Each structure stands twice: as C-alpha cells, then as structure tokens.
A and B are shown apart, each in its own frame.
Chain A
Amino acid sequence: MKIHEFQAKALFKQYEVPVPNGGVAKDAGEAVRTAESLAKFPVVVKAQIHAGGRGKGGGVKVSKTLDEVKENAAAIIGMNLVTHQTGPEGKTVKQVLVEEGLEIKKELYLSLIIDRDTANIMVIASEAGGMEIEEVAASTPEKIIKVQINPLLGIQPYHSRQAAFGLNLPAAAIKPFTRMLNQLYRLFVDYDCSLVEINPLVLTADDAVIALDAKMDFDDNALFRHKEIVEEYRDIDEEDPLEVEASKYNLNYINMDGNVGNMVNGAGLAMAVMDTIKLAGAEPANFLDVGGGATAEMVENGFRIILSDEKVKGILINIFGGILRCDILAQGVVAAAKNMDIKVPVVVRMEGTNVEEGRKILEDSGMKLFTAVDMKDAGKQVARIVC
C-alpha cells in the first residue's frame, strides 16, 4: 500500500526524523494560512499524489510571497498532473503540501528496502540525490552505497557509520544522520514497510540533514497487523474504482487498457493467459486472479467486475482446477450470469479437478458459451471475437 508524502512525513515526525516545517492544504485559503504560520519565505507548494516525477510535471512550485502561494496552490489543486508514473491519463490533485524552503548545500539519496536475494534489510545511499536512483545505478554505480542488515541482528552503529562516511558527510552531520537512519530502520520494521525512500535527503547550509521528500510503501501481506495505517492513510481516490471493488472481495484485480476481459485462478497462470491473449493478437483488459481457494461467491464477484467493465468486448475464463474445483467455478459463473445481462461472448477453458462436473453445470445452465479445447485455442477464439 502506498501513502502520500505528507502522511509519510507525519510518520517521520513521530519517529523524530527531521522534515521541513509545513502542513497539508485542500484549498488555496488553507495553503495561505499554512504559509503564514511558517512566517518565512520561500515556501514550497507540492502536489500530493501517489506518483513520482511531480516536479517535472508542474506539481511543485516555489513561492516568494503569500500571493504567489495562493496563486500556485490554486493552480495545482484540481490540476490533472501527468508524470512518468501516472500514465498519460494523469491524476487529479486534491491537496498540496505547503512547506518552508530550505537552504540546500547538497542533495543526497537514502532508502531502505528488503533485499530479495539476501533476505536482509538493505540501506541504499548515494551522494547523487534528487535523481532517479536507477539512473545513478546505471551511469555511476560507484556512487551507490549498499549496507546489508540482518533482520535478526537489527541495525548496529557500524551499519549507520558505513552509510554516513560513504556519503562524505561533514563531521557535524554524522551524528544526526546516524540517529536518523536508526529511527528510519525502526520505522521500517515497526510498520512492515516494503520501501522507505528519501529523495532528496538534503544537507542544509547549517549542516542539518532533513528529509525533503518522503515515500513509504507498506507490505500488503502485513497490513493485517497495521489496521490503523489502512484506516488513517489509505486513499481510495488514488486507486482504480474497479480495483477497489475487487479488493472488497479479496480478488487480485488490475485494470488494463485492452478489451479482452479474463478470469483465471492463480497469479502465474493469470499472467500467462494475458500473454496468450496478446500473442493471439488481442490485448487483455485486466489481470484477475480469483485465487487458488476461491469460493463460488468470489468467482461470481470476479465475473461481475469484468462484466461491468465497459471496454470489455469478449471474455476468456481459464481455470485449471487444483484447490479451486471446476464445479465451484462453474457454479459461480452461472450465478453471476443469472443476475446480469451478458452482452459479450464468453470463451471457457477448464481442466483439472472435477472438470466433468464443471462442464455439466455450464452445459445445463443454458448459457451461450464458447468452449475451448486448450489454452492456445482459447486465446485464438477470444481474439477472433474482439478483432
């Protein structure tokens, strides 16, 4: 789960990680009041959306007077912000973060992630801040410091020193930095984060280290033990409406651009089915994994979500019965079909546990279905329908 910059900074503050003074505003008036309380200029107005690249897209503005704050906040709130991470359709900005401007001596990069290969928590730091870390890694890999921390051991002073001296920080900044990194590690572990990223982390003219930006992602698998984070910080407006609907039923659904709706059990097979649709010459409208242990009700809800997607011109259902038995799948499809008007052709391919029972339920239902003999055939049939 992603959260906004201002929310991540609120958590940083709780953990005594230094952030610029400021506050969030939903309209220009509120932005001006926040700027007034800061009592100094310049003031930075930053669009709050779940995507990076906001500055380049015109979502971050520096203001030297209250009038400019008002003007910039009014321009940014309500704008459709397009960045390399939002996709061409962009995102509507609903709130801004109004912050004091800092006198910056140097921009650094700092992040914490879980390293899949070593199962360690890894600190990544770089003197080349303010840039995409991937670009830095590609062009100047020597500028990237990686510190591996065994999660059973936790962060030790030598870990922090490795990062601090690697960043060539001035003597006065070493202690504040190591303290900050310790606190970030605690934050990362306490909330089961998958990413904490500060880009840029700035060294100010008076040698303070301050998180100018803040990005946090949480491990979805661990949200059950952080219900307060979900309640307080989840922003449903940042999510696709069909995806929100699907999440209510514990379905793994991702909305895409094509017109072939598809429903599959198992994530790997669902991806492979999307690929098959593409290789047959069409484009998938979604990713939908109803899961290995799906019930007839989950299948019904999944099918309903695909049917409610207006861009869908044909549907492919591919189920390989394992935990999810074919008869359960068939019951769900028939139940959904009874309650909805199915206007698009549906191709079904089933194999595995209880496949005969499943086929019989579909045959007896009187639904108009195209039956495919195997995956390739299923892809071809559905591509023929939509192309």
Chain B
Amino acid sequence: MSIFVNSDTKLVVQGITGKEGQFHTRQCILYGTNVVAGVTPGKGGNDMDGVPIFNSVKQAVKKTGANCSMIFVPPPFAADAIMESADAGVELIVAITEGIPVLDMARVKHVLNQSGSRLIGPNCPGIITPGEAKVGIMPGPIHKPGGPIGVVSRSGTLTYEVVYQLTREGLGQTTCIGIGGDPINGTNFIDCLSAFEKDPDTKGVVMVGEIGGNAEENAADYIKANLSKPVVGFVAGITAPPGRRMGHAGAIISGSSGTAGAKIEKLRSCGVTVCENLGDIGKVCAEVFGE
C-alpha cells in the first residue's frame, strides 16, 4: 500500500517538451511510471519518445485516461497550468515549478478548494511510491520499496538525504512526498499525516520541516490528537537569521514567529522524536521505528 500514487497512476506531463520536462519524463519512464501523455500547447499531434503530446490537458485526459499530472511549466504560466489540470478533472496535480508568484498561488488555492483535485507543491520534488511510481524529480535509486516508513517534507534535496539514510539503515518507504517550499501550497503536512495514518503498510512517519510559517506547529497538534504511529521530525534552519528568505519563498522567520527552535519545542511537546543533527536521522529512525 501507499498514498496518493501507485501502479495505477497514469501520468500526463505538462510542459513535456521543455528541457526539464523531457529529462524528467524520461527518468520517470525509466523508473517504471506509466506516462501516458504530454501537453504542450501548439505541439499536439507529435510525440516525445513515443508519448503522445496534446494541446490541452482535457484532450490528454479524454484520450488516455490520465489521472495524475506533473507540471514543469515556467513560473509565469504555472498557475494557469494547475487550474487547467483541475478543470480537466485530474485527481492529483504535482507542480514541480519553483518561483510562482504568491498571489497567483493564493488564487489557485481557492480554485482548488472548490474542485475535486489534490495539488502537491508547487516548488517541490514531487512524490514517489518506491517500486511503483515516481512522479517527480527525485533520484529513484536511493529509495527502497516496500515500506514501512512514510516521508513528508517541505524540501527537495533535504528529503533525498533523509531517504538515503533510511535506505542505508534498511528502512524502506511506502511513499515519500515533497509538499514544497512555498508559503502557499496544496497538500500540507496534515493531509499527508492523515493519509499515512490510514495506510496499513505505513508503520511510522518522518516529517521534515523548516523555518517559516506554522505548518509544523499545526501538524504537531494534529499528531498529538490523531496519530497512533510514531513520528520522527527534523526542522532545518536553527542557524537561519530572522527576516531573510532562505532560498525557499516560504522559509523566512517573520519577527519572532516561524523559528526552528519554537517548531522543535512544539513537535517534542506533542510526542514527536525530533532529530537536530541531519547526519543522525537514519540512526534515530532505526531506533524509533525498530522498536
């Protein structure tokens, strides 16, 4: 079992003919993901390595039955691409694009609230159910199929580091999700925690947060009230100066809120085992989940 993506996932790639889109579509196919379509307006009727290209998501869904989209469209056009997917009834939309204006995302969020689609990202590495489907840009080989650990994170490469250490400790993953580093995103920590709680194969969860906002604090309250499975947490940015945007648009300490220290304290008070040194996270997980 897994959450959100599996071997039934039929993927359409928006922006399939761009440099990144091409490269990562090929990587996903190599991993075994069922890529059924691509969309690049104006290039409909062509194909990319045998994957048919359509002018619109609606056409792609109609012809191929795609139920998941992955977006590589550049920032000025990415909000439109997300809404197009939602309008076409795509169940799961994974937006990789970094740098979408926050106000665009605020509008998109309200549109999505009224649709049946789930958005992961933007500004994220995507989602992978090891051995079944990779919808994203993460390196496939570092993952270990079969579970029992679920991973959810606001960061990309930081997640790879965590997964790499889990795999090295012999701990496989059910599903790993990057929810993205932007201030406004689709799926949040709580959505993933709730799905992992319901997934019988997931026995424990690693939650990777960072400075900015209060998503970790909200998740901590949720964990305390709803999770029966053990959670290991990590929060990046103990050394981050206040008022500075640390690469991710959402990673900023405003005044005294959103600090790593406060998040760590809150997570601990809600029963999460927090690992402060990233180099130790594999070992800490082995101890917590090995019990």
B161/A375 in contact, CB under 8 A:
yes
Docked-complex contact A219 and B161, CB < 8 angstroms: no
Bound Cα distance A284, B137 (Å): 29
Residues facing A in B95-114 (CB within 8 A) are 98-107, 109-111
Contact B236 A272 (CB under 8 A): yes
Please tell me if the beta carbons of B156 and A292 are within 8 angstroms of each other in the complex.
yes
Contact B276 A265 (CB under 8 A): no
Report the minimal beta-carbon distance from B256 to chain A, rounded to whole angstroms: 6
Q: Which residues of B contact A134 (CB under 8 A)?
A: 255-257
A278 and chain B: residue at smallest CB distance:
B239
Judge whether A75 is part of the interface by a CB distance below 8 angstroms: no
Contact partner of A269 (CB less than 8 A), chosen from B24, B99, B157, is B157
> How far is B164's CA from A320's CA once the two chains are assembled, in angstroms?
10
Which stretch of B28-36, B39-47, B195-203, B206-214 is in the interface?
Answer: B206-214
Interface residues on B, range: 35 or more
Alpha-carbon distance between A293 and B102 when the two chains are bound, in angstroms: 21
Closest approach, in angstroms, between the C-beta of A31 and any C-beta of chain B? 30
Among A116, A225, A278, A287, point to the contact of B76 (Cβ < 8 A): A225
Query: How many angstroms from the CA of A256 to the CA of B242 in the assembled complex?
Result: 12
| A220 part of interface (Cβ distance < 8 Å) | yes
Q: How far is the CA of A374 from the CA of B279 in the complex (A)?
A: 7
Asked whether, in the complex, the Cβ of A320 is within 8 Å of the Cβ of B103, the reply is no
CA distance A270 to B155 in the complex (A): 10
Q: How many residues of A contact B (CB 8 A)?
A: 58
Q: Which of B8-16, B54-62, B222-230, B245-253 contacts A (4 or more CB under 8 A)?
A: B245-253
A271-B251 in contact (CB<8A): yes
Determine whether the beta carbon of A150 is less than 8 Å from that of B110: yes
- Measured CB to CB, the closest approach of chain B to A228, in angstroms, equals 16
Min distance, Cβ B80 to any Cβ of chain A, angstroms: 14
Q: Are B208 and A322 in contact (CB under 8 A)?
A: no
Is the C-beta of A344 less than 8 angstroms from some C-beta in chain B? no
Are A379 and B245 in contact (CB-based, < 8 A)? no
Report if A175 contacts B (CB, 8 A).
no
Q: Does B271 contact A (CB under 8 A)?
A: no
> For A287, what are the chain B residues with a Cβ–Cβ distance below 8 Å?
240, 244, 246-247
A residues 210-258 touching B (CB-CB < 8 Å): 219-222, 224-225, 252, 254, 256
Residues in chain A near residue B218, CB distance under 8 A: 117
* Minimum Cβ distance to chain A for residue B8 (Å): 26
| In the complex, chain B residues whose CB is within 8 Å of the CB of A273 | 278
Contact B251 A222 (CB under 8 A): no
Q: In residues 263-285 of chain A, which contact B (Cβ within 8 Å)? A: 264-279, 283-284
* B69 adjacent to chain A (CB < 8 Å): no
From A380, which residue of chain B is reached at the shortest CB distance? B279
Which residue of A has the minimal Cβ distance to B238?
A275
A225 to B79, CA, bound (A): 14
Given contacts A276-B279, A279-B277, contact A266 B158 (CB under 8 A): yes
Cβ < 8 Å to B, chain A residues 105-145: 114, 116-117, 119-121, 132, 134
* In the complex, B142 has a CB within 8 A of chain A: yes
Within 8 A of A (CB), among B63-115: 75-76, 98-107, 109-111
A194 within 8 A of B: yes
- Closest A residue to B210 by CB, please name it: A268
| A221–B79 alpha-carbon span in the complex (Å) | 13
User: In the complex, A278→B261 CA distance in Å?
Assistant: 14
Contact B279 A275 (CB under 8 A): no
Given contacts A152-B110, A269-B161, A271-B251, contact A114 B181 (CB under 8 A): no
Complex partner residue of B139 from A85, A152, A221, A353, CB under 8 angstroms: A353
A214 to B196, CA, bound (A): 46
Q: Which of B111, B139, B238, B241 is within 8 Å of A352, CB to CB?
A: B139
Is B144 part of the contact surface with A, judged by Cβ < 8 Å? no
Interface flags for A167-204 (1: CB within 8 Å of B; 0: not) read 00000000000000000000001001010000000000
Of chain A, the residue at the smallest CB distance from B158 is: A268
Residue A289, interface by CB 8 Å: yes
- Complex-state Cα separation, A150 to B241, whole angstroms: 32
Bound CA–CA A276/B278 (angstroms) = 7
A376 interface hit (Cβ, 8 Å): yes
Question: Known: A119-B109, A269-B158. Contact between A189 and B246, CB under 8 A?
Answer: no
- Chain A residue nearest to B168 (CB atoms) is A374
Contact between chains at B249 and A221 (CB < 8 Å):
yes
- Would B236 and A271 count as touching, CB distance under 8 A? yes
Task: Indicate which residue in B210, B257, B280 contacts A271 across the interface (CB closer than 8 Å).
Answer: B210
A265 touches B157 (CB 8 A): yes
Chain A CB within 8 A of B145 CB: no
Q: Which of B156, B237, B239 contacts A266 (CB 8 A)?
A: B156
C-alpha gap A90/B222 in the complex (Å): 42
Q: Determine if A321 is an interface residue (Cβ-Cβ < 8 Å).
A: yes
Contacts A221-B101, A266-B158, A271-B247 known; 20 new A-B pairs at CB < 8 A: A85-B243, A114-B183, A119-B184, A134-B255, A192-B102, A219-B101, A220-B249, A221-B75, A225-B101, A267-B181, A268-B153, A268-B248, A269-B160, A273-B278, A274-B239, A283-B239, A289-B247, A322-B138, A322-B139, A376-B277
A residues contacting B by CB (< 8 A) are 85, 114, 116-117, 119-121, 132, 134, 150-152, 189, 192, 194, 219-222, 224-225, 252, 254, 256, 264-279, 283-284, 287, 289, 292-293, 320-323, 351-353, 374-377, 379
A-B contact pairs, 27 of them (CB 8 A): A116-B213, A119-B105, A152-B110, A219-B103, A220-B245, A221-B99, A254-B246, A266-B155, A266-B156, A267-B247, A268-B181, A268-B208, A269-B157, A270-B246, A272-B278, A273-B278, A275-B260, A275-B277, A276-B277, A277-B239, A287-B246, A289-B247, A320-B161, A322-B157, A322-B160, A351-B161, A375-B278
Task: State the 5 A-B residue pairs at the shortest beta-carbon distance, nearest first.
Answer: A268-B155, A267-B247, A376-B279, A266-B157, A268-B158
